[in-house]
């Protein structure tokens, strides 16, 4: 992409996004069969606690009695925000492109963690305000070069949001076709914690103050600027419909992650949700399509202010709490060995009946 798209927002469309995707409810009968299988393993009843519940959920999501979590891929969705140029972040917007290059070089934190956990990493250019050189691990899905400043005008048009949602769902379909058992929507975008806080505030009605955190490391003066920008954006519109809220506050990586979550659920893939920004995308996805919630497993509780309240709003219980607030999909990557262990537990452990009968 060599030219900057038009900066003039277009009117909202009324077409519902992702209208062709169907998400099946989890099979209660299969859940009961999986639970019976877990209860019959050669161990005391419920002795492995939440690991057993995870095994049942993974099996229900995948629609099988022998769940698999061998192949997992993290997609780092990257996009820029008009908020960043207005002073919402401690870092300049150029850091988004610089970090995308770092991911592609395999030198970021998520790359190190992913290698340890045997997780693939791909980088998705959803809306970086730069032109990246081609790379085998880069997925070019740019909708436009960054969102608009939501403190002044809608961050995205309806057409742009629909395109981001659809491209996210298409990426989930590619992941499923390539044999992924689970997927991680990670993110990178200077200014995106402001966008996520506004989405959370409007979709949960938690106070804006309780949604706003330090993001990438704001000091007191930076938090004052960030809060003022967020308050201006919130005061500019009364939108509450999830699609319109996404148009008002952006950003492109969050919209694409929301489509990705919905698309993955439609294809019965385990969605491993990371921290605050990833959870905000999941919140948008759930508000658009409530039936996708059981397909989401929340990896960790971020130290970013607002994340615990966001998990409460989603009814999610995180697996880990390590005081992390990096993003990139890093906390979700750390949870993958736990999910693999849960799947292996119900797939590979002998039944108590077989042990007692000597059928090993």
Reported as a single tens digit per residue, the pLDDT across 7-27 is 333 333 334 457 789 999 999
pLDDT > 80? residue 342: yes
pLDDT at 217 over 70: no
Q: pLDDT digit string (tens) for 204-213?
A: 989 999 999 8
All domains of the chain in start order, with CATH: 28-66+347-357 (1.10.1610), 72-339 (3.40.50.10210)
The model's pTM: 0.93
Confidence at 327, pLDDT banded by 50, 70, 90: very high
Q: Per residue in 305-314, pLDDT tens?
A: 999 999 999 9
Reply yes or no on whether 304 is catalytic: no
Residue 97, pLDDT score: 97
Between residues 54 and 86, the one the model is more confident about: 54
Q: What is the pLDDT of residues 105-137, one digit of tens each?
A: 999 999 999 999 999 999 999 999 999 999 999
Structure confidence at residue 316 (pLDDT) = 93
Query: Taking residues 247-251, what's their average pLDDT?
Result: 95
79-88, 143-152, 210-219, 231-240: segment of lowest average pLDDT: 210-219
Q: Closest by alpha carbon to 212, among 154, 132, 268, 276?
A: 276
The active-site residue out of 52, 220, 328, 353 is 328
pLDDT exceeding 70 applies to what percent of the chain?
93
Mean confidence (pLDDT) of the chain: 92
């Amino acid at each position: 992409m060599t030219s900057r798209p038009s900066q003039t927002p277009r009117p909202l469309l009324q077409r519902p996004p992702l209208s062709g995707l169907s998400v099946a409810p989890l099979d209660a009968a299969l859940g009961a069969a999986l639970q019976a299988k877990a209860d019959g393993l050669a161990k005391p009843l419920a002795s492995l606690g939440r690991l057993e519940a995870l095994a049942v959920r993974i099996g229900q999501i995948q629609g099988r009695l022998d769940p698999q979590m061998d192949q997992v891929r993290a997609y780092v969705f990257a996009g820029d925000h008009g908020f960043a140029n207005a002073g919402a972040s401690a870092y300049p917007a150029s850091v988004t492109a610089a970090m995308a290059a770092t991911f592609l070089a395999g030198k970021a934190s998520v790359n190190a963690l992913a290698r340890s956990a045997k997780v693939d990493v791909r980088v998705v250019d959803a809306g970086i305000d730069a032109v990246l050189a081609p790379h085998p691990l880069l997925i070019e899905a740019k909708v436009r070069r960054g969102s608009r400043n939501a403190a002044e005008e809608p961050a995205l048009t309806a057409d742009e949001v629909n395109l981001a949602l659809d491209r996210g769902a298409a990426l989930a379909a590619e992941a499923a076709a390539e044999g992924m058992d689970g997927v991680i929507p990670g993110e990178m975008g200077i200014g995106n914690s402001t966008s996520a806080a506004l989405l959370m505030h409007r979709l949960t009605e938690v106070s804006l103050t309780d949604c706003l955190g330090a993001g990438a490391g704001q000091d007191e003066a930076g938090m004052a600027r960030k809060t003022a920008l967020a308050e201006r954006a919130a005061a500019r519109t009364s939108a509450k419909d999830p699609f319109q809220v996404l148009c008002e506050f952006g950003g492109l990586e969050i919209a694409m992650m929301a489509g990705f979550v919905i698309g993955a659920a439609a294809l019965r893939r385990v969605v491993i949700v990371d921290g605050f920004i990833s959870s905000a995308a999941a919140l948008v996805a759930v508000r658009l399509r409530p039936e996708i919630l059981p397909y989401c497993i929340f990896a960790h509780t971020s130290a970013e202010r607002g994340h615990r309240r966001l998990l409460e709003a989603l009814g999610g219980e995180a697996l880990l709490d390590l005081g992390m607030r990096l993003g990139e999909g890093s906390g979700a990557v750390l949870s993958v060995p736990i999910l693999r262990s849960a799947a292996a537990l119900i797939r590979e452990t002998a039944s108590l009946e077989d042990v007692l009968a000597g059928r090993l």
